Structure 1
């Protein structure tokens, strides 16, 4: 089963709705560029929130810059080059500026604005409007044929029904995107009696809310908390439920975040959600794939690790667009001269996972590296789970330490100075380090 059938040459319009989590955006971004490369009649529209629009648009520009000239395939088919088959819409009220810090309050405000603006943009795409909310519609006259939405953009199924129903337009196939494994999807969305977690947490929170408990308090009470019960996932050893979510007890996720994410359970089960796409190799977990398809009735698309062609061919250059990028690259160059190849340890726990309840663990790691004479890059980006500033201040100014919010991860991993990677083993980090021969520490 494929997302875009290879033998269907009719023009197609794929609409993508990512979420403001870079671990989710990157594989989706690479998937789209690869699909556009493979299918010369495919067009793609990104619907973005303000906080992610600038960075995603820069990445899109970089990823498609080497494809700006028509390829042999483009010329032979008479199709347009990739850059001309791609467009973005920032879904916000006029005058909204992107926030420099992505916090739970920003997430909530952007979510409300996004939900208010999105129906007008979607109806505009179907009406074939030339100008939608001040943005030129490059695909005027080509209505959307498929929606691919992030698992945490939980409003999409109901919003599509409510937007297109009054217009007498059939809802197109909706496919959820999840940057994780089939077993993880099963653990999240399977029935509660089969060990599913999202349905249980959502039910318990809503039962408390019905009894008068504040909604934020209710979600905080049950969000990603283990029960100590044994849970069996298809094809994997039996473990206690908290062992399947090892980061759950290290992150304090606020009720606002949980209230926004747990309804992914209903979005997945929605009748108009026909399937789910995972950036994972399905052959590694065939039992979970079979269980999802047979018991939940969804089509499963396991598309494997998604990288642009130049990354597979080890020819990926990173444009230093930010001060942090330039600092990191300059630091690695200096460490290469000072300490030699494979001397630097790179540390990153993604945008969300950080041991806030025990920040001293990070202090121990950084102190040990410093005392051992091992230089390091520590990328600590997170507004949802912010790193204590006093921890950062302890290591600022050290010659052999570079601390930044965001690091150009692929550039760091490919740099000759990098020898070690301490990671939370998120899907992006795991896939990217697997494409290289750097040492990895979990």
Structure 2
């Protein structure tokens, strides 16, 4: 009979789900007496099983409990309903689980995704009882974890403002919370103050949140609730390690130790196949993509292709003219950079005439359906990844030693871009002229130009970035990316993440 049971709430976002799935298989391998139950919305459950189908694990020790309407369409508009169905289902399953049974014991520990967990943390704590533990799953680097969930208390700040009629200025509590979240500096207004991230990077407050995908206000309620989850939890676990965050990791360990919080840094979590050398005949199954990559290899050499994707959700909705300028630059470069542009996210689209122009040029290919990103990155054809800076994309790229060009558009992406294009081991180039909204303004980083956000200045920056990637700067970034890939493989076998996973299963 199993002696330990982890009950997990995962948010309705694939970038949060995917690394946890692979962490789950490693936790089960680490502790033969452990069982795990994952609660997720039914719209994601089939995709989870598909990912698990090719994984090696003890299927008798993992349950996936689906809740909610399986036919619900995935879109920005349905996220609130998805979250309500998910959290209601979670509380029902938790209430039954704490009774325990003859087969599986009641949960010892709750793993709660920051996206959703904060909305029902008090009820979950009450059901679990005083002896149970709660850990916050933060599917990003530890610098972002600290910045988003531990540095400020947006709800407390909002309450203080609301209690003062003059500062309230006729706003509702929800409006004040959104203003506090968007300021991200401990107040409800941007005022140019300097923020220090994880003991290293310094940025202006207006640089904190990218706005290319639209106003960040819609994230305010969930992420403010996540701060309450952080306060009421026993600690945090993140898919990162010292190899990627050599400055942030030691700082974070001391930071959370002083606050009496546990911290588990389990390393990047991906399918076992991603860590192995490409097998003969492997690569993307899509014949169109496969042929394009083969042709590019013959004509321009290996690792000559630029891969472009803004992920499964995001896209630069506020700056479509800059996307058009990027394409114009790519089609006009004297030193050709062939490219694959994936436009399949919830927000993503390109005009038909633009797609036709790309295909007619012979320099690029546009994919409007889902692609196997991991297979493309592992094909040996990709030299660079132009990305929004989502953490999954970042780690999938670096696992293959591929450096990045960052075009952040929302969520934590601005911090990822800033953190990983600077520091002792930079692995990418951050674009500045693609900024939008209140993020337009000066930057503290010495390499930043005067930021205007105009198409003409973006054109100059794009052209310089593509020159850099073929010059000494690009060579250094590639060397750093390859080194991180090597370190991750070493860590995965007998490094600190192995010990951290073992410790996590026992907590």
Q: What TM bracket, shorter-length normalisation?
A: 0.7 to 0.9
Partner of 1:83: 59
Deviation of the 1:264 alpha carbon: 0.7
> Which of the residues 70, 73, 98 maps onto 1:126?
98
Gaps of 5+ in 1: 1-8, 68-80, 130-138
> Which of the residues 38, 49, 58 maps onto 1:57?
49
Matched, 1:236 2:200: yes
Deviation of the 1:110 alpha carbon: 1.4
Secondary structure of the residue that 2:380 maps to in structure 1?
Answer: coil
Deviation of the 1:163 alpha carbon: 3.4
CA distance in 1, matches of 2:391, 2:265: 13
> Which of the residues 288, 292, 304 maps onto 1:335?
292
Do the aligned partners of 1:345 and 1:418 also contact (CA within 8 Å) in 2?
yes
CA distance in 2, matches of 1:255, 1:239: 20
Matched, 1:252 2:214: yes
Matched, 1:99 2:72: yes
Partner of 2:20: 28
Structure 1 residues 236 and 110: CA distance shift in structure 2, 3 A:
same
Do the aligned partners of 1:250 and 1:357 also contact (CA within 8 Å) in 2?
yes
CA distance in 2, matches of 1:366, 1:238: 32
Structure 1 residues 125 and 210: CA distance shift in structure 2, 3 A:
farther
Deviation of the 1:312 alpha carbon: 1.8
Deviations 1:71-108 (A, max 9, x none): xxxxxxxxxx522211101122xxx23334322x3111
Partner of 2:327: 366
Partner of 2:308: 347
Do the aligned partners of 1:235 and 1:287 also contact (CA within 8 Å) in 2?
yes
Deviation of the 1:365 alpha carbon: 1.7
**206-215 or 350-359, larger mean C-alpha shift:** 206-215
Structure 1 residues 318 and 216: CA distance shift in structure 2, 3 A:
farther
Do the aligned partners of 1:15 and 1:44 also contact (CA within 8 Å) in 2?
yes
Do the aligned partners of 2:119 and 2:222 also contact (CA within 8 Å) in 1?
no
Do the aligned partners of 1:335 and 1:344 also contact (CA within 8 Å) in 2?
no
Deviation of the 1:338 alpha carbon: 2.4
| Counterpart mapping for 1:422-437 below 5 A | 422-437=386-401
Deviation of the 1:274 alpha carbon: 0.4
Indicate the RMSD between aligned Cα atoms, in angstroms.
3.3
Matched, 1:179 2:179: no
Deviation of the 1:237 alpha carbon: 4.0
Gaps of 5+ in 2: 185-189, 407-507
Structure 1 residues 414 and 334: CA distance shift in structure 2, 3 A:
same
CA distance in 2, matches of 1:250, 1:342: 29
Deviation of the 1:369 alpha carbon: 2.4
Do the aligned partners of 1:344 and 1:374 also contact (CA within 8 Å) in 2?
yes
Do the aligned partners of 2:9 and 2:113 also contact (CA within 8 Å) in 1?
yes
Matched, 1:161 2:107: no
Do the aligned partners of 2:4 and 2:108 also contact (CA within 8 Å) in 1?
yes
Do the aligned partners of 1:179 and 1:278 also contact (CA within 8 Å) in 2?
yes
Structure 1 residues 314 and 371: CA distance shift in structure 2, 3 A:
same
Deviations 1:241-261 (A, max 9, x none): 334x2x523232464432222
Do the aligned partners of 2:2 and 2:104 also contact (CA within 8 Å) in 1?
no
